[in-house]
Chain A
Amino acid sequence: MEEKLSLQEWIGLAEHKNISFGDFCIEFQARELEISQEELLSRMETLLQVMEQSVEIGLSGIKSMGGLVGGNGKLVEEYRREHPRESVVGTVMSKAIMIALAVGEANASMGRIVAAPTAGASGTLPAVLFSLSEAKGCSRSEIAKALVVAGAIGMVIASRATLSGAAGGCQAECGSAGAMAAGAAVELYGGSPDQVGQAAAMTLKNMMGLVCDPVAGLVEVPCVKRNAGAVATAMVAAEMALAGIKSVIPVDEVIDVMAAVGNTMPCSLKETAQGGIAVSPTGLALAKEIFVSS
């Protein structure tokens, strides 16, 4: 068994060097991969391009394979255009919601996406990265650096817990995507290494216990909208962390607890479509319809 990674340890190393968590992760990951820091960032920028294309796919009037989602990102886009002063959550968050839905819907309709960390949770990171970087006017390499931070958080979660809904429920998929996005948001806004960890911890705590209950077993309902939910949770946590609020429970412990909660979750709530909203009367009826038509 490989030794577990520790986010706290990495944060400590970044603090010791007195550099941002992003700079630490780039240095560290480039060394691990035996590539230059420029190469690492350029590969991240390529992934950012794919993410941007998947937003476009999602807003282009698509329908998912199972027919349960498609067009929701577009609805938010239209609402933003037609009601510019009536956003409940503010224009930045509303843009993030639009992106999260669009990418989730691109994924559900066989569009090309970056699994980050998974296909089902692929809307969360692009949503947070693109909405915040636009609001703050970040450079391309700053966004790429934030993506490296997200990746580092995801590596620790994969090592101590899981990123798979089948193994840990939605808390492990959208929850992890949210934690990664929250850390990335803190990095984009110039937060400290410690604040990156606090944001990740608070996101995971606020999504603790979320089950994976896809209707008909498809990555459509509730997956697409859960990405928008993860975005909101991530942004709330990032805001709290930047304000100096700390998670009472340290981040590595929160990740371990998420793993333990996932292990105690019954199989019916881990991507098997045998529990949760998948077995609501409407969920079951939809599943029957989809299977009959296939």
Chain B
Amino acid sequence: MKYYTYFPGCSSSEGNSMAYGQSAQAVSGVLDIELIELEDWNCCGSTPYSSIDELSSFCLSARNLSLAEKRGFDLVTPCSSCYVMLNRTQSYLKDYPQVKANVDEALAAGGLEYHETVKARHLLDVLVNDIGYDAIRAKVKRELEGLKVASYYGCQIVRPRLGFDHPEYPESLDKLVASLGAEPVPFPLKSRCCGGSLIISNEAVALDLIRKLLESAASNGAECLVTVCPLCQTNLDAYQSRVNKKFKTDFHIPVLFFTQLMGVAFGLDDEELMLKTSIVPVERVLAKYL
């Protein structure tokens, strides 16, 4: 059994990507991983907070890191934005003594200290590097043979250089998909942006980016997309109908969390993986594997 401190982030815990959190826990169970949720964690603040008040945004992450430090395990999150914010805070604390001094003073107001010993990691990193493709393959009960999958990384799991995969041409998720028996298709835009939170404030801009991603995946024969981030999944899935309306396109590409696809291959049932929470139905392409 491997133990990690788990930081679900708002979307995957009780937000609109609960399916991600639940499927992450389910496949972790199969792989003998225990994800122990950090008690009373707070929101990472994401890009919005760091664009309004940077010091407060560092403090949001520093509180979580400080709480995690008491546990002594690596801190694992399934959300790319949480992953970037936690690591961004770590690098600023290390590189800028002035930031460190201010954050320490703010943490002290809450009776906390942080000694920079925690490693903040993305769930994909843990699954492919600590567990490994062979061990994942060994748990496959339903080979996803013939399923053509576009592995979508998005931005913040690989950029800025966070180390576990290439910042522009990552391959870990493709290899994971292949270890489930599925076929990763070429996907040139696999680490391009989904539009992020601009989908709310500037929808037209984000829809255009989403359209490009869907087009790239579809033109390479993908039957579905898998994502490693709650916001990427929401943008590609929930806004697919908006893309179709705006650009007179006809995309019907299901968008799964990578943990859901793993769960299907592991033989877990569709309710446990919350497959019905996908807006574009996944049953059509997954029917023969369920």
A binds B: no
Hey, which bits of chain A sit against chain B, CB under 8 A? none
